[in-house]
Each structure stands twice: as C-alpha cells, then as structure tokens.
Amino acid sequence: MSDLPRRAVTRTAKLASLPLGVAGRATLGLGRRIGGRPAEIVAAELQQRTAAQLFKVLGELKGGAMKLGQALSVFEAALPEEVAGPYRSALTKLQDAAPPMPARTVHKALAENLGTDWRSMFTEFTEAPAAAASIGQVHHAIWHDGREVAVKIQYPGAGDALISDLNQLGHVARFAGALIPGIDVKPLIAELKARVAEELDYQLEAEAQTAHAVEFDGDPDILVPHVVHQTERVLVTEWMGGTPLSKVIDKGTREQRDRAGHLLVRFLFSGPARTGMLHADSHPGNFRLLDDGRLGVLDFGTVNRLPEGLPEPIGHAFRLALAHDADGVMQVLRSEGFVKPSIKLDATEVLDYLLPFLEPAEADEFTFTRAWMREQGARIGDPRNPASTLARQLNLPPSYLLIHRVTLSTIGVLCQLGATAPFRAELETWLPGFLPEGFEAEEFDFSVEVDDVDEADEAEDTGPR
C-alpha cells in the first residue's frame, strides 16, 4: 500500500473514473439485457458494482473524496429501498474504514511530531490501525502513565489532498448528487472546502474536544474522551470503546436503537447550549453506544462555534409553524434571510411545505423511519411536485448552512436507526425560542433503562476519527 496519493493528475483521474465507470457498466448492462438476462437482475448487479467502485475510489483517495462519501452516507435513508440496499453497504464502510498508512509512514510521522524517542511516551503501541478515516488514522496505545489512549495521526499531504479532491469533486457533483434525491451536492462541497483549514488543525480540534470533555465530564448520558497530548499532526486522547452506531444501525436491539437515537437528539440540541459549539460531523462513525448506556462522541475536527447557542429565530419559527401561524413563520424567514426581499411567496404554501419536516416535533415521541425520510426526499426531489419548486425559491443564509447540514445529517442517522425519540421534549429543553417567552420547560426525566450490549453486538474498541 503506497502513501496517500497527492499528485493532482492521479487523484483527478481516480475521481473521473466514478461517472465513467457508471456509464461503462450501464452500457454493459444494456448488452446483457439484449442477451436475454432479466432487466431487474442486471440493474441490481449495476447498483452493487457502482457502490463497490464508489467505496474503492473514495476510500483509496481518503481526503476530501472520502469526506464527501461520509457526508453522503447519512442520507442514504432517503433513497428508494431497491436502490439503497447496494449503496448502503459501500457507504457505511466509508464511515469506519480506509486503506491504512504503511508502518514506516506512521513511524516517520510520530518521530516528526513527538520526537525520535516517541516510543518512550507509550508503554504499548499497536502497529495495526484501529481505524482509518478521511484525513487520519487511529492507533490504540497505552500512555506512559498507564492510561489507554487513541493516537490519531494525520496523513502526510492530507491538506493538499483535501483541497485537490474538493476542487475536482465539483466536476463530478452531478454523479454524487444523483445518489440522493433532493440533495444539492455543490453547496455541500463548498462548505467542506471552506472548513479544510479547521479540519487539519489539531490544536483547534483539541480545544473543541477539551471544552466538550470538561462540560460533559460526569454526565450520565454523554461521554467525550479527554485530550491527553496534542501536536500539529498527532492527537492523543483517552480511549473509548463501545459499539459504533453503524453496528447499532446494522443489528442493534430496539432498546439500543431508541437509546442511541434519543441521546443523539439530546447531544445535537444541548451541545451548543452547554459549550457554545455544534459538533458538525454527525455520521455514525463518530458515535458509540457504550455498555453503560451512554453515548460516546468522537471527532471534533469540525465544529460550528455558536457562543449564544443555536439561533433563537429557529425556535421561534418552529413554535409558530406548529401553531400554524403562516404569517408569523414568513416574517421570521424574511427577517433571517431565508426568503429574499425580491421573492414573493404565499405564506400558507410555505407553511404547508415546512410542516411535514416538523412532524417529529408535533408528538411527544416520534419514530424516525427510512420511509418517512424517503417521503421528504421525494417531495423536494421531484420537479413535478410544487414543494420542489418552492424549495428552490428559498435561500439558505451562510450563517445557517452548517446548522442545516448537521440537522439533516442527524435526522438521516435517526432514520437509519429507526429510533423512537422524544424529539419535542429535547427542543423544549434546549432550543432557544421554542417555548413562549416566560414559559419554562418542565423537568423531564430523560433517562432510559437499557440492557448491556449483547455479546453478539459488541464491537472492537475504536478511537476517534
């Protein structure tokens, strides 16, 4: 296995192979249909092979290509089931795995960042990576004081790779966007590109993780590992085991799914209120369900800094929409820039467009399903549907872009889990403006009794992404 590909021409060629490969397989499929093979069998084979190529190319490139794959993977719940199946397996792999760096590269990076006597900092260091992801890979080790730690090492050339990939991915956005109806991939790529520097800065990541670890220290529901040591390209944190959410999605019990979904909702809304930051990389590989029922959270390389918490107008708009106050909702949308002054929209039609998205907040509990997300995707993805036309007339202000993506990503994970969660109660507790002024949320007991993770569901420990 060679080092991370860095030459632009090589990476461009690999990225270009995605749509070309699909076209080639489509031609092959046509030939097979002419040869008498049933069309549905040929279509299934094409979907499976396309998914395999997607994982192979994005996984080999790592960097921005893999980061986009991870971002898209949480939206697969919006795909029709007959299409989603083959892609689900390949995209899920992107959340937890990538071809590892050779040992010599790992040793060189550790020597450059920790010093030539880096081994003296550990009593044990596992050569094989525990996990490999978009810009770095993780090794299990024992720190010199006996603590079990995760050592995240940034790939050499990761910065160049990220920038090159994201530039080139703009040219194949149509292919990537075709995977998920209703998702415009170009703004997603632009937002990922805007955060390259932050993603590569392990000092910023360490500061964000430390802030969360301190705030949630001793919390009965959320665990964030403390930072042990940090340099420019190496981050050492406390080790965290547990079952990755991808495995809970695959074979978790009903109790595990509901517990994970509930705490994911809580972390989404409580994080900004408690830390002034929104964890902005909410794919399943960054979360663990621990044996004691807590939700473990990893990877703080990308956060949205919100010193005042989530914007209060979001809560106002939610409350007014659920009260069917169309004019009030329109007033908030215009004041926040979601509807530009030059655009004329019917307030009732806008409310009708928004209400299906707000179903999780209408009941005491809501069950997130793939069918529900597919329905929402179809509404805005079908150009024949009036909701699709209206969606294109709405504007997403830059200050809301990351909040919007994180919320959509989290809902995608909830639908993958099929979780039943008290979404409204968490909004009432943590979302500014959701409750009328002067009205305080009730004291809710959100604790959920869960069984220990079954042996069959236990996964190998992994460190941060």
User: What one-character-per-residue DSSP string does 400-415 give?
Assistant: HHHHHHHHHHHHHHHH
Assigned domain for 119 exists: no
Residues 174 and 304 reside in one and the same domain: no
The answer to whether residues 412 and 276 belong to one domain is yes
Mean pLDDT of 31-43: 47
Confidence of residue 379 (pLDDT cuts 50, 70, 90): confident
Backbone φ and ψ of 412, nearest 5° = -60, -45
Question: Does any domain span residue 210?
Answer: no
Domain encompassing residue 380 = 241-465
Q: How far is CA 347 from CA 317, 324, 326, 330, 446, in A?
A: 13, 11, 5, 6, 36
| Residue 181 Rama label (left phi>0; alpha psi -120 to 50; beta) | beta
What's the structural domain count of the chain?
2
Residue 192 has a pLDDT of 67
Residue 179 has pLDDT above 70, yes or no: no
Same domain, 339 and 253: yes
Mean pLDDT for the stretch of residues 440-453: 44
Higher pLDDT, 124 or 455: 124
47 close to 68: Cβ distance less than 8 angstroms: no
**Looking at residues 36-56, what average pLDDT do you find?**
54
Kindly give the residue spans of alpha helices, DSSP state H, lying in 35-99.
39-61, 63-73, 81-96
Question: From edge to edge, which strands make up the β-sheet containing 295-297?
Answer: 222-223, 295-297, 287-289, 243-244
Q: What pLDDT is attached to residue 33?
A: 42
**Looking at this protein, which amino acid is placed at residue 22?**
V
Q: Is the pLDDT of residue 172 over 80?
A: no
The whole-angstrom separation of Cα 439 and Cα 132 is: 47
Q: pLDDT band for position 457 (50/70/90)?
A: very low
Which DSSP state fits 435? S
Higher pLDDT, 193 or 95: 193
Please tell me the predicted confidence (pLDDT) of residue 6. Answer: 47
Q: Is residue 340 one of the residues assigned to a domain?
A: yes
Band (64; pLDDT cuts 50, 70, 90): low
Q: Does 261 lie in the same domain as 174?
A: no
Report pTM. 0.77
pLDDT digits (tens, 9 = 90+) for 325-359: 999 999 999 999 999 999 999 999 999 999 999 99
Together in a domain, 306 and 443:
yes
SS3 track for 321-366 = HHCCCHHHHHHHHHHHCCCCCCCCCCHHHHHHHHHHHHHHHCCCCE
Question: Is 189 domain-assigned?
Answer: no
Residue 139 has pLDDT above 50, yes or no: yes
Q: Which of 117, 140, 135 is nearest to 205 (CA)?
A: 135
Of 161, 156, 144, nearest in space to 107 by CA: 156
Lowest mean pLDDT of 73-82, 123-132, 364-373, name the range.
73-82
